[in-house]
Amino acid sequence: MSQANVHSNGQLPPQPERATLEGRNKITGFWLFLGGETVLFGTLFGAYFTLRNQTLNGPTPQELFELPLIALATLILLTSSLFSVFAVQAMHRNDLGKTRMWLGLTVLLGLSFLALEIYEFVHYVSLGHKFHSSAFGSSFYALVGFHGAHVAFGIGWLTLIFLQLKRKGLTTVTAPKVYLASLYWHYVDVIWVFIFSLVYLLGKVAG
Protein backbone atom coordinates (compact mmCIF):
# COMPACT_ATOMS: atom_id res chain seq x y z
CA MET A 1 0.00 0.00 0.00
CA SER A 2 1.41 3.37 -0.89
CA GLN A 3 1.79 6.17 1.60
CA ALA A 4 -0.90 8.19 -0.15
CA ASN A 5 -3.53 5.66 0.95
CA VAL A 6 -3.05 6.64 4.55
CA HIS A 7 -4.98 9.61 5.84
CA SER A 8 -2.50 11.64 7.84
CA ASN A 9 -4.13 12.73 11.11
CA GLY A 10 -7.40 11.28 9.90
CA GLN A 11 -7.62 14.04 7.30
CA LEU A 12 -8.73 13.37 3.75
CA PRO A 13 -6.24 14.61 1.10
CA PRO A 14 -7.39 17.72 -0.84
CA GLN A 15 -8.28 15.70 -3.95
CA PRO A 16 -9.08 12.30 -2.41
CA GLU A 17 -10.27 10.81 -5.73
CA ARG A 18 -6.72 11.21 -7.11
CA ALA A 19 -4.80 10.41 -3.94
CA THR A 20 -4.18 6.78 -4.88
CA LEU A 21 -2.88 5.19 -8.07
CA GLU A 22 -6.03 3.08 -8.15
CA GLY A 23 -8.20 6.19 -7.98
CA ARG A 24 -6.28 7.90 -10.80
CA ASN A 25 -6.41 4.75 -12.95
CA LYS A 26 -10.15 4.47 -12.39
CA ILE A 27 -10.66 8.02 -13.61
CA THR A 28 -8.53 7.50 -16.74
CA GLY A 29 -10.24 4.17 -17.44
CA PHE A 30 -13.64 5.75 -16.98
CA TRP A 31 -12.84 8.35 -19.63
CA LEU A 32 -11.97 5.52 -22.04
CA PHE A 33 -15.43 4.12 -21.30
CA LEU A 34 -17.00 7.54 -21.95
CA GLY A 35 -15.17 7.68 -25.31
CA GLY A 36 -16.81 4.34 -26.16
CA GLU A 37 -20.19 5.64 -25.01
CA THR A 38 -19.76 8.59 -27.39
CA VAL A 39 -19.38 6.15 -30.30
CA LEU A 40 -22.44 4.24 -29.11
CA PHE A 41 -24.64 7.33 -28.93
CA GLY A 42 -23.17 8.56 -32.25
CA THR A 43 -24.45 5.41 -33.97
CA LEU A 44 -27.88 5.78 -32.32
CA PHE A 45 -28.10 9.43 -33.43
CA GLY A 46 -27.02 8.33 -36.93
CA ALA A 47 -29.76 5.67 -37.02
CA TYR A 48 -32.36 8.18 -35.79
CA PHE A 49 -31.47 10.84 -38.36
CA THR A 50 -31.46 8.23 -41.10
CA LEU A 51 -34.93 6.93 -40.23
CA ARG A 52 -36.80 9.80 -38.57
CA ASN A 53 -38.91 10.57 -41.65
CA GLN A 54 -40.03 6.94 -42.07
CA THR A 55 -43.20 7.31 -40.02
CA LEU A 56 -45.30 4.76 -41.98
CA ASN A 57 -48.44 6.95 -41.76
CA GLY A 58 -48.01 7.19 -37.97
CA PRO A 59 -47.62 10.44 -36.04
CA THR A 60 -44.70 12.65 -37.11
CA PRO A 61 -42.19 14.29 -34.73
CA GLN A 62 -43.98 17.63 -35.22
CA GLU A 63 -47.31 16.12 -34.14
CA LEU A 64 -45.86 14.22 -31.19
CA PHE A 65 -43.33 16.38 -29.38
CA GLU A 66 -44.53 18.79 -26.70
CA LEU A 67 -41.96 21.43 -25.90
CA PRO A 68 -43.11 22.38 -22.35
CA LEU A 69 -42.61 18.78 -21.16
CA ILE A 70 -39.16 18.62 -22.78
CA ALA A 71 -38.21 22.01 -21.31
CA LEU A 72 -39.15 20.79 -17.83
CA ALA A 73 -37.19 17.55 -18.25
CA THR A 74 -34.18 19.55 -19.48
CA LEU A 75 -34.32 21.92 -16.51
CA ILE A 76 -34.53 18.98 -14.09
CA LEU A 77 -31.56 17.14 -15.58
CA LEU A 78 -29.44 20.29 -15.87
CA THR A 79 -30.10 21.16 -12.22
CA SER A 80 -29.32 17.59 -11.12
CA SER A 81 -25.98 17.87 -12.94
CA LEU A 82 -25.20 21.04 -10.96
CA PHE A 83 -26.12 19.25 -7.73
CA SER A 84 -23.65 16.46 -8.49
CA VAL A 85 -20.97 19.17 -8.92
CA PHE A 86 -21.89 20.41 -5.45
CA ALA A 87 -21.59 16.84 -4.11
CA VAL A 88 -17.99 16.60 -5.37
CA GLN A 89 -17.18 20.05 -4.00
CA ALA A 90 -18.58 19.06 -0.60
CA MET A 91 -16.46 15.90 -0.79
CA HIS A 92 -13.37 18.07 -1.44
CA ARG A 93 -14.23 19.97 1.75
CA ASN A 94 -14.48 16.61 3.55
CA ASP A 95 -18.11 17.37 4.38
CA LEU A 96 -19.80 13.97 4.42
CA GLY A 97 -23.25 15.29 5.32
CA LYS A 98 -23.37 17.80 2.44
CA THR A 99 -21.91 15.25 0.00
CA ARG A 100 -24.70 12.84 0.83
CA MET A 101 -27.31 15.61 0.75
CA TRP A 102 -26.35 16.75 -2.77
CA LEU A 103 -26.12 13.14 -3.97
CA GLY A 104 -29.60 12.49 -2.54
CA LEU A 105 -31.00 15.58 -4.27
CA THR A 106 -29.35 14.49 -7.54
CA VAL A 107 -31.08 11.10 -7.23
CA LEU A 108 -34.46 12.76 -6.53
CA LEU A 109 -34.18 14.95 -9.62
CA GLY A 110 -33.03 11.93 -11.65
CA LEU A 111 -36.15 10.06 -10.52
CA SER A 112 -38.31 13.05 -11.54
CA PHE A 113 -36.69 13.09 -14.98
CA LEU A 114 -37.28 9.35 -15.37
CA ALA A 115 -40.92 9.69 -14.30
CA LEU A 116 -41.45 12.42 -16.91
CA GLU A 117 -39.85 10.25 -19.59
CA ILE A 118 -42.02 7.26 -18.69
CA TYR A 119 -45.11 9.49 -18.80
CA GLU A 120 -43.97 10.82 -22.19
CA PHE A 121 -43.44 7.33 -23.63
CA VAL A 122 -46.81 6.07 -22.34
CA HIS A 123 -48.47 9.14 -23.89
CA TYR A 124 -46.75 8.52 -27.25
CA VAL A 125 -47.78 4.86 -27.25
CA SER A 126 -51.40 5.92 -26.65
CA LEU A 127 -51.08 8.09 -29.78
CA GLY A 128 -49.91 5.10 -31.84
CA HIS A 129 -46.17 5.86 -31.72
CA LYS A 130 -44.70 2.51 -30.69
CA PHE A 131 -41.30 0.84 -30.92
CA HIS A 132 -42.44 -1.45 -33.73
CA SER A 133 -44.94 0.88 -35.46
CA SER A 134 -42.36 2.48 -37.79
CA ALA A 135 -38.64 2.95 -38.37
CA PHE A 136 -39.04 6.39 -36.77
CA GLY A 137 -40.54 4.70 -33.69
CA SER A 138 -37.75 2.11 -33.45
CA SER A 139 -34.93 4.61 -33.84
CA PHE A 140 -36.57 7.15 -31.50
CA TYR A 141 -37.15 4.70 -28.66
CA ALA A 142 -33.72 3.11 -29.17
CA LEU A 143 -31.97 6.49 -28.80
CA VAL A 144 -34.10 8.23 -26.16
CA GLY A 145 -34.85 4.96 -24.33
CA PHE A 146 -31.15 4.12 -24.18
CA HIS A 147 -30.47 7.51 -22.64
CA GLY A 148 -33.31 6.86 -20.17
CA ALA A 149 -31.70 3.51 -19.31
CA HIS A 150 -28.47 5.40 -18.59
CA VAL A 151 -30.39 7.73 -16.27
CA ALA A 152 -31.95 4.71 -14.51
CA PHE A 153 -28.53 3.08 -14.09
CA GLY A 154 -27.10 6.37 -12.78
CA ILE A 155 -29.89 6.64 -10.21
CA GLY A 156 -29.10 3.11 -8.97
CA TRP A 157 -25.35 3.83 -8.87
CA LEU A 158 -25.71 7.15 -7.02
CA THR A 159 -28.15 5.57 -4.56
CA LEU A 160 -25.70 2.77 -3.73
CA ILE A 161 -22.88 5.29 -3.21
CA PHE A 162 -25.22 7.40 -1.06
CA LEU A 163 -25.84 4.33 1.13
CA GLN A 164 -22.20 3.23 1.17
CA LEU A 165 -21.04 6.69 2.28
CA LYS A 166 -23.19 6.35 5.38
CA ARG A 167 -21.43 3.10 6.30
CA LYS A 168 -17.86 3.85 5.22
CA GLY A 169 -17.64 7.64 5.15
CA LEU A 170 -15.34 9.62 2.86
CA THR A 171 -12.07 7.78 2.27
CA THR A 172 -9.58 7.47 -0.58
CA VAL A 173 -11.54 4.33 -1.54
CA THR A 174 -15.04 5.85 -1.60
CA ALA A 175 -13.99 9.28 -2.98
CA PRO A 176 -13.17 8.03 -6.54
CA LYS A 177 -16.61 6.39 -6.62
CA VAL A 178 -18.35 9.69 -5.85
CA TYR A 179 -16.21 11.46 -8.47
CA LEU A 180 -16.85 8.84 -11.19
CA ALA A 181 -20.60 8.68 -10.56
CA SER A 182 -20.65 12.47 -10.84
CA LEU A 183 -18.69 12.32 -14.13
CA TYR A 184 -21.15 9.73 -15.43
CA TRP A 185 -24.10 11.91 -14.44
CA HIS A 186 -22.64 14.94 -16.24
CA TYR A 187 -22.07 12.80 -19.31
CA VAL A 188 -25.72 11.67 -19.27
CA ASP A 189 -26.66 15.36 -19.11
CA VAL A 190 -24.35 16.21 -22.05
CA ILE A 191 -26.03 13.49 -24.15
CA TRP A 192 -29.43 14.96 -23.19
CA VAL A 193 -28.29 18.37 -24.53
CA PHE A 194 -27.94 16.74 -27.96
CA ILE A 195 -31.21 14.83 -27.59
CA PHE A 196 -33.35 17.85 -26.69
CA SER A 197 -31.66 19.99 -29.36
CA LEU A 198 -31.36 17.57 -32.26
CA VAL A 199 -34.26 15.18 -31.64
CA TYR A 200 -37.01 17.28 -30.03
CA LEU A 201 -36.37 20.88 -31.10
CA LEU A 202 -35.09 20.00 -34.56
CA GLY A 203 -37.97 17.51 -34.91
CA LYS A 204 -40.38 20.34 -34.14
CA VAL A 205 -38.70 22.71 -36.62
CA ALA A 206 -37.93 20.30 -39.45
CA GLY A 207 -39.99 17.23 -38.65
Partner 1 sequence: MDQTNGQTAQNKIKRAPVHEGPRNHLITFALSLLLTFLAFMAAANQSLSTGFVIFLLVAMAFSQAIMQLAYWMHLKDKGHFYPRLFLTIGGIVAFLCFIAAIYWMWW
The footprint of partner 1 (CB under 8 A) covers 2-5, 13-15, 18-21, 27-28, 31-32, 34-39, 41-43, 45-47, 49-51, 67, 71, 74-75, 78-79, 81-82, 85-86, 89, 92-93, 183, 186-187, 189-190, 193-194, 196-198, 201-202, 204-206
Q: Name the minimum Å distance from CB 109 to partner 1.
A: 13
CA distances for 130 relative to 149, 161, 171, 207, angstroms: 17, 35, 47, 17
**Amino acid type, 196:** F
Contact assessment for residue 61 and residue 136, using Cβ atoms and an 8 Å cutoff: yes
Q: Name the minimum Å distance from CB 125 to partner 1.
A: 24
- Residue 102 vs 141, nearer CB to partner 1: 102
- Residue 63 vs 128, nearer CB to partner 1: 63
- Residue 140 vs 187, nearer CB to partner 1: 187
Q: Which residues 6+ apart lie within 8 Å of 4 measured at CB?
A: 13, 19, 20, 21, 172
Distance separating alpha carbons of residues 69 and 67, to the nearest angstrom: 5
Contact assessment for residue 109 and residue 83, using Cβ atoms and an 8 Å cutoff: yes
- Residue 117 vs 189, nearer CB to partner 1: 189
Q: Name the minimum Å distance from CB 161 to partner 1.
A: 18
